[in-house]
Amino acid sequence: MRWETQRLEKAKQIIKMYPQKRSALGPLLYLAQDKDGYISNESIVEISSLVGITEVQVQSVASFYSMYKQEPTGKYLLSVCKSISCEISNSSEVIESVKEFTGLSNNETDDQNLFTYESVECIGACGGAPAVQVNYETIEGLTPDKAIDLCSWLKETEPKVIVADELQEKFGGVKSFDWAIEDNTGTSSPVPGFQTYDTLKEKK
Amino acid sequence: MKETILLTKHMRENPEDSHSLKSYEKNGGYKAVKKVLKSGSPEEVLEEIKDSNIRGRGGAGFPTGVKWGFLAEDEERYLVINGDESEPGTFKDRILLERDPHQLIEGMMITCFAANISKAFIYIRGEYAKPARRVQSAVEQAYEKGYLGKNIFGSSMNLDIVVHLGAGAYICGEETALLNSLEGRRGEPRLKPPFFPAVKGLYNKPTLVNNVETISSVPWIMSNSGKDYSNLGVEGSTGTRIFSLSGHINNPGNYEIEMGSSFGEFVETLGNGVKNKAIKAFIPGGASAPWLRGDQLDVKMTIDDVANEGSMLGSGAVVMMDEDTNLVLAAKSLVSFFAHESCGQCTPCREGTTWLENILERVASGRGRISDIDLLLDVCDNISPGLTWPPKMTTICPLGPSATASIVSLMKDFRSEVEILLPKKVVIS
């Protein structure tokens, strides 16, 4: 399906921010993923014409970066960190409990299209290890039990907007540093919530 | 031992709204850049930065003033802030982006004035969604106030800033890979020469690439002086530095200190120690750094002291591992990281890191072979001949050679932990 007018307009605005069109490729891939939950072939064709490079070039870049998904992603992308500080803080147990709850292996999505699970490398939350992200919103200081609570809460309430502060308060523990500033912004799709890309949402 | 608070002062004293322009300005923010624009010259700024002796806070520790001095003449030049912080153990730029974005913007303005640059980018890793939107809001506020755009503060200076999100590739923290990524390409490092960013950087134009913490230090240096800054810390490691402390520690977190005290003092006082446990090993500067042993806690936290011990202060990430740590699994976690993050351009790194991961995997699960220690070291030697530190390179960038650090540490100081997992020798009578 072609991109709707609004998304095309956004794309053109983003392209204008850069001295060369191709620099907008990364942000446009996020627009694509916000639309479909992954980088669809239709989006590749669309982006190729917007940026002026071939479809193969678009795909070659998209496949390089782990945050651009090649397959449809569930409503909630669960990314559990397994890098060193988390590893030595029992992240493997958090990983096991998330896998058990969702029934998923690495990079799999469930049949209801609700959860995608992945184990990921360092997300910069080492002081609050072990840490998890839901749609790139960080929760620090998790335990295996709290991880299950988090997943079941997501399943039961299906929140429209994922907000780091809310999740941290409900399910988190020790933090890398005092977050201090209250924040009710987040994202509603498996891409980073960022105002320039119109993927930022506010929790009402 | 106490912290010396320069960069984190404003955020600590104004916890609720340190991200806002209002709070930043109320506490003396944007005064330094106003002064510089009104009565300073680019040469004077460069002199102050050189006097401060500040060295890059990204990991390589290159003197910032020298880097600025290398920037080639051209009508079109760029500043790119490296906010791709992805080195396991590191979360110091996250706090600077999240809680004091205007400090970074002011630092960028001064830098761009000194280097005659009118277009700058802040490249932030995609996983830092929240920090990135705080920075973007701050940039928008600065535009609204006329602090960015054309004729800033009535001067002839113009500056545009674009916040750009990465997409999950550690390698983009390497400056030339970052530039490829910002150009909409795969994040593969470029060959140096010819692609030194100061000569052929973004769009092949001269480009300054500086770390978030480095540029966030600029407003303090210009509000005070380069000399004041160089009086802090020790020779060769001047000023303060934000260390990210994690692992088996009572009080993990970011601590801003003058360089020069020992790791032990740091861990005991600010980190409040390790609960009833001895420290077996620790990482002094991020996943790429060779480990130090628990009996090396008296080493001083300076760039040169850590280098003398055969490791590096790197990104300032200190990870403590207590006596209960399974070091084989720790090494496997580190090696898996590099195997996953290898961009795949250079054979020694692409193949070598995967081999190391596979061998360690089988050793850790008790399926190792007697020959595996030799094999691990052989693969490491092929990625980085001689197994020295700093490592010898067979690759375009240091990612592959860095992957050998944890294995070499394991074999050098904790070999018995590997040996015990290998089959006992079979005696044939």
Question: CB of A148 within 8 Å of any CB in chain B?
Answer: no
Query: What CA–CA distance (Å, rounded) separates B327 from B419?
Result: 12
Does residue A57 sit in the same domain as residue A145? no
How high is the pLDDT of residue B197?
97
Does residue A122 sit in the same domain as residue A174? yes
Spell out the domains of chain B, with CATH numbers in brackets: 9-230 (3.40.50.11540), 237-320 (3.10.20.600), 327-419 (1.20.1440.230)
Closest-approach residue (CA) in chain B for A66: B168
B128 contacts A65? CB cut-off 8 A = no
Does residue A184 sit in the same domain as residue A122? yes
Does residue A151 sit in the same domain as residue A55? no
- Structural domain span for residue A13: 5-62
How high is the pLDDT of residue B276?
82
Q: Report pLDDT digits (tens) over B157-214.
A: 999 999 999 999 999 999 999 999 999 999 999 999 999 999 999 999 999 999 999 9
| Strand partners of residue A148 | none
Q: In chain A, which residues have their Cβ closer than 8 Å to the Cβ of B168? A: 65-68, 120
Q: Report pLDDT digits (tens) over B243-275.
A: 999 999 999 999 999 999 999 999 999 999 997
Question: Residue-wise over B392-415: b if at least 16 C-beta within 10 A, else e?
Answer: ebbbbbbbbbbbbbbbbbbbebbe
In the predicted structure, residue B318 carries a pLDDT above the cut 90: yes
How high is the pLDDT of residue A47?
98
Q: Please, what is the average pLDDT of chain B?
A: 96
Q: Is residue A68 part of a domain?
A: no
Q: A102 CA to chain B: closest CA distance, Å?
A: 22
Query: What CA–CA distance (Å, rounded) separates A13 from B162?
Result: 12
B91 contacts A26? CB cut-off 8 A = no
Binding-face residues of B in 298-327 toward A, CB within 8 A:
317, 319, 321, 325
Domain count within chain A: 2
Which secondary structure element, helix H or strand E, spans residue A162, and what is its range? strand A162-163
Q: Is residue A200 part of a domain?
A: no
Q: In chain A, which residues have their Cβ closer than 8 Å to the Cβ of B127? A: 67, 79, 123-124, 133, 136, 138, 192
B164 contacts A88? CB cut-off 8 A = no
Regions of chain A short of the pLDDT cut 50: none
Neighbours of B53 (CB within 10 A): 19
Does residue A9 sit in the same domain as residue A108? no
End-to-end CA distance of chain A: 31
Does residue A80 sit in the same domain as residue A53? no
Half-sphere exposure of A103 (CA within 13 A, CB side): 5
Q: B386 CA to chain A: closest CA distance, Å?
A: 26
Question: CB of B84 within 8 Å of any CB in chain A?
Answer: no
Does residue A52 sit in the same domain as residue A86? no
Q: Is residue A69 part of a domain?
A: no
Give me the CATH number covering residue A96: 3.40.30.10
When pLDDT is cut at 50, 70 and 90, the band that residue B371 belongs to is very high
In the predicted structure, residue B426 carries a pLDDT above the cut 70: no
How high is the pLDDT of residue B351?
97
Give me the CATH number covering residue A26: 1.10.10
CA angle A137, A141, A143 (to 5 degrees): 110
Out of B127, B137, B162, whose CB is closest to A18? B162
Q: What is the dihedral of CA B410, B416, B417, B418, to 10 degrees?
A: 70
Closest-approach residue (CA) in chain B for A20: B183
How high is the pLDDT of residue B424?
80
User: Residue A146: which residues within 8 A CB-CB, separation 6 or more?
Assistant: A171, A172, A173
How high is the pLDDT of residue B429?
64
Does residue A93 sit in the same domain as residue A176? yes
A126 contacts B91? CB cut-off 8 A = yes
Does residue A93 sit in the same domain as residue A188? yes
Q: Is residue A201 part of a domain?
A: no
Q: CA distances (Å), B35 to each of A105, B7, B31, B40, B226, in order?
A: 57, 19, 6, 7, 15
Does residue A100 sit in the same domain as residue A123? yes
End-to-end CA distance of chain B: 62
Mutate to test the interface with A, among B5, B96, B130 (most CBs of A within 10 A): B130
Contact B359, B379 (CB under 8 A): yes
Q: In chain B, which residues have their Cβ closer than 8 Å to the Cβ of A85? A: 88-89, 246-247, 319
Q: Report pLDDT digits (tens) over B74-128.
A: 999 999 999 999 999 999 999 999 999 999 999 999 999 999 999 999 999 999 9
Q: Is residue A155 part of a domain?
A: yes
- What is the pTM for the complete model shown? 0.97
Out of B16, B18, B91, whose CB is closest to A125? B91
Query: What CA–CA distance (Å, rounded) separates A55 from A45?
Result: 6
Does residue A175 sit in the same domain as residue A138? yes
Q: Report pLDDT digits (tens) over B222-247.
A: 999 999 999 999 998 999 999 999 99
B252 contacts A194? CB cut-off 8 A = no
A67 contacts B132? CB cut-off 8 A = no
Out of B15, B168, B170, whose CB is closest to A67? B168
Does residue A38 sit in the same domain as residue A91? no
Question: CB of A56 within 8 Å of any CB in chain B?
Answer: no
Among the candidates A37, A62, A87, a domain finishes at A62
Question: CB of A190 within 8 Å of any CB in chain B?
Answer: no
Amino acid occupying residue B145: K
